[in-house]
């Protein structure tokens, strides 16, 4: 088994961007809950276990007065990320090669305080002493009104994956090189899948058949992820890494409580939107027997078989306590937020991703659809029934792909535009690298889908070329740049 530093130097992690950990979303949630979050303009952001910094770079690009810091133990990733930032010309972005476990009081002093702290894909994947250091560090460097985001694998959803992880670790134990080990584990997954499929055709005793079916369902899911090599980094780190300790939600809450931190809610906002099962007899049972919020959330994890959580946490003395969670969802609260929803319209029906939206709110959705990519505020719907607009927005908010901000995002007319500052250099990185280490993302951390040929077209915008808007490809590129807020008027 490898130690973390060696492991991540040998097999660096593709550094994606995650919408639900974006400081812009954390700030919006803080505003919605009246928590007086720090303004984004001069905010200080820290990411722990940042890899190449792909998750915090989009924010640094769009907020030049903010200060963005990342910490990672892997020199390969830290140096790689700093090199990318240097070539882009970012002066507000710095990755530090440090082991969270061995930060001393001078290091902590030097780091200063932060308004938003992110630890995505880190907590479950390190030794227990590092886990404790992560929480202690958050406590030490989080500003009084700061919001931290910590994601982690949870039980019971991870229990069946733990079994497959043990299987992959066992079958690949004799291979040392990460790449070869991964291939061996993938081959052995196929072997087990083949065996289960064949075996399930025979008459088995019902209990055995049902457990094998369950295992096969999870195996098929994994197989789907592993069939091309795109997700190898994920498989390698979830299933073959030295540490991966899923935890029960209630135990995580106890751990953060011990260091003086308190749970606020999940970044998915499930605590607001999925705090009920929706069937009277189940909800009545939960409400009667699990009155405490943490107990009820834990019950929901059992019932929904959750496998991952993205907890937002704050200082314990700022919140009244984890049980005191009361959210007022009124038009006034909503007016603080702007929504960015890429609604699709097909055969006179509206969809967000693949979810069909409620026909009762179609007039509201028609307006949001026609205004996209401009952000929408509930106050833009004064000519409608505001209560109805509130329900329409609530329905959209359920979807993590819907961006939430505290500021307006304006549309630009495609004529007479140029790229926003530093975007040319950012795009250039992806043009020049066949295997980029970071994900190309917009300020909301949403993936930007541009091929190399399309980037080449985009790069011509600032080179003084007159772009031929009658060319379909040029038009497509301009639209992608427009909907990712990468253009400004000249
Ligand atoms: C699974 S990766 C997650 C990377 C990124 N946050 C993401 O989710 O895409 C975990 C990261 O934590 C870093 N890491 C592990 N142990 C660490 C430690 N003790 N101190 C600092 N970084 C550490 C690794 O080098 C690696 O980049």
Q: How far is the CA of 100 from the centre of ligand 1 (A)?
A: 10
Cα separation, 355 vs 357, whole angstroms: 6
Q: Is the CB of 374 under 6 A from ligand 1?
A: no
Instruction: Give yes or no for residue 326 having a pLDDT over 90.
Output: no
Instruction: Give yes or no for residue 154 having a pLDDT over 50.
Output: yes
How long is the chain? 490
Which of 198-207, 231-240, 248-257 shows the lowest mean pLDDT across its residues?
198-207
What's the average model confidence in pLDDT over 8-31?
A: 90
Q: Is the CB of 125 under 6 A from ligand 1?
A: yes
Instruction: Give yes or no for residue 1 having a pLDDT over 50.
Output: no
Cα separation, 183 vs 213, whole angstroms: 24
To test ligand 1's pocket by mutation, which of 47, 51, 98, 99 has the most ligand atoms within 8 angstroms of CB? Answer: 51
Specify burial of residue 460 (Cβ count, 10 A radius: 0-12, 13-18, 19+). Answer: middle
Q: How far is the CA of 96 from the centre of ligand 1 (A)?
A: 12
Q: How far is the CA of 120 from the centre of ligand 1 (A)?
A: 8
Q: How far is the CA of 92 from the centre of ligand 1 (A)?
A: 21
Q: Is the CB of 480 under 6 A from ligand 1?
A: no
If you average pLDDT over each of 75-79, 159-163, 323-327, which comes out highest? 75-79
Q: What element of type H or E holds 35?
A: none
Q: How far is the CA of 228 from the centre of ligand 1 (A)?
A: 24
Instruction: Give yes or no for residue 396 having a pLDDT over 60.
Output: yes
Nearest to 34 by CA among 352, 330, 241: 330
Q: Is the CB of 461 under 6 A from ligand 1?
A: no
Which domains can be identified in the chain, with CATH numbers?
4-156+246-315 (3.40.50.150), 159-239 (no CATH), 338-405 (no CATH), 417-489 (no CATH)
Q: Which residues contact 198 (CB under 8 A, 6 or more apart)?
A: none
Q: How far is the CA of 74 from the centre of ligand 1 (A)?
A: 8
Q: How far is the CA of 29 from the centre of ligand 1 (A)?
A: 25
DSSP β-bridge partners for residue 153: 308
pLDDT at 464: 67
Which of 10-19, 392-401, 463-472 shows the lowest mean pLDDT across its residues?
463-472
Which atom of ligand 1 lies closest to the CA of 12?
27
Q: How far is the CA of 227 from the centre of ligand 1 (A)?
A: 25
For residue 260, what pLDDT band results from cuts at 50, 70 and 90? very high
- pLDDT tens, position by position, 356-373: 999 999 999 999 999 999
What's the average model confidence in pLDDT over 14-24?
A: 95
Coil, strand or helix: which one is 304? helix
The mean pLDDT value of the chain amounts to 92
Q: Is the CB of 18 under 6 A from ligand 1?
A: no
Q: Is the CB of 77 under 6 A from ligand 1?
A: yes
Peptide bond before residue 487 is cis, with ω within 30 degrees of 0: no
User: Which region holds residue 158: left if phi is over 0, alpha if psi is between -120 and 50, else beta?
Assistant: alpha
For residue 221, what pLDDT band results from cuts at 50, 70 and 90? confident
Which of 14-28, 222-236, 274-288, 407-421 shows the lowest mean pLDDT across its residues?
222-236
Which atom of ligand 1 lies closest to the CA of 16?
9
- pLDDT tens, position by position, 70-85: 999 999 999 999 999 9
Q: Is the CB of 232 under 6 A from ligand 1?
A: no
Tokens found for residue 246: 């899923």
Q: Is the CB of 53 under 6 A from ligand 1?
A: no
Cα separation, 415 vs 401, whole angstroms: 28
What's the average model confidence in pLDDT over 152-172?
A: 95
Which atom of ligand 1 lies closest to the CA of 54?
9
């Amino acid at each position: 088994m490898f130690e973390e530093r060696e492991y991540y130097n040998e097999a660096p992690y593709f550094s994606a961007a995650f919408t639900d950990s974006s400081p812009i979303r954390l700030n919006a949630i803080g505003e919605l809950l009246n928590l007086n979050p720090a303004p984004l303009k001069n905010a200080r952001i820290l990411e722990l276990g940042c890899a190449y910094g792909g998750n915090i770079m989009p924010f640094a690009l769009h907020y030049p007065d903010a200060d963005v810091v990342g910490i990672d133990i892997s020199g390969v990733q830290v140096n790689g990320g700093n090199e990318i930032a240097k070539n882009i010309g970012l002066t507000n972005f710095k990755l530090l090669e440090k082991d969270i476990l061995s930060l001393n009081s001078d290091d902590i002093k030097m780091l200063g305080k932060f308004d938003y702290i992110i630890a995505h894909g880190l907590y479950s994947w390190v030794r227990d002493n590092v886990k404790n250091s992560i929480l202690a560090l958050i406590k030490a460097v989080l500003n009084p009104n700061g919001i931290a985001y910590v994601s982690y694998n949870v039980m019971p959803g991870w229990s069946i994956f733990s079994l497959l992880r043990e299987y992959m670790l066992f079958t690949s134990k004799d291979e040392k090189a990460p790449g070869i080990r991964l291939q061996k584990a993938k081959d052995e997954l196929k072997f087990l899948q083949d065996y289960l499929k064949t075996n399930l055709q025979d008459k088995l005793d019902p209990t055995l058949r049902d457990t094998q079916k369950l295992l096969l369902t999870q195996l098929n899911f994994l197989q789907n992820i592993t069939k091309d090599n795109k997700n190898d980094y994920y498989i390698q780190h979830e299933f073959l890494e030295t540490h991966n300790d899923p935890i029960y939600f209630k135990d995580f809450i106890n751990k953060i409580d011990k260091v003086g931190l308190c749970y606020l809610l999940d970044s998915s906002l499930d605590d607001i939107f999925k705090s009920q099962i929706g069937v009277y007899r189940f909800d009545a049972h939960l409400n009667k027997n699990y009155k405490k919020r943490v107990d009820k959330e834990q019950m929901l994890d059992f019932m929904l078989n959750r496998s991952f959580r993205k907890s937002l946490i704050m200082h314990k003395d700022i919140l009244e306590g984890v049980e005191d969670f009361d959210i007022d969802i009124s038009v006034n609260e909503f007016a603080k937020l702007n929504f960015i929803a890429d609604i699709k319209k097909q055969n006179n029906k509206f969809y967000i991703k693949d979810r069909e939206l409620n026909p009762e709110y179609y007039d509201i959705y028609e307006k949001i659809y026609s205004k996209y990519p401009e952000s929408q505020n509930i106050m833009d719907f004064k000519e409608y029934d505001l209560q109805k607009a509130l329900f329409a927005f609530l329905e959209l908010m359920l979807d993590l792909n819907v961006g939430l901000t505290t500021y307006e995002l304006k549309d630009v007319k495609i004529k007479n535009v140029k790229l926003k500052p530093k975007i040319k250099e950012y795009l250039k990185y992806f043009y020049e690298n066949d295997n980029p280490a970071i994900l190309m993302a917009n300020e909301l951390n949403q993936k930007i889908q541009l091929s190399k040929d399309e980037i080449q077209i985009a790069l011509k915008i600032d080179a003084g070329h007159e772009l031929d808007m009658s060319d379909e490809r040029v038009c497509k590129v301009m639209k992608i740049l427009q909907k990712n807020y990468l253009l400004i008027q000249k």
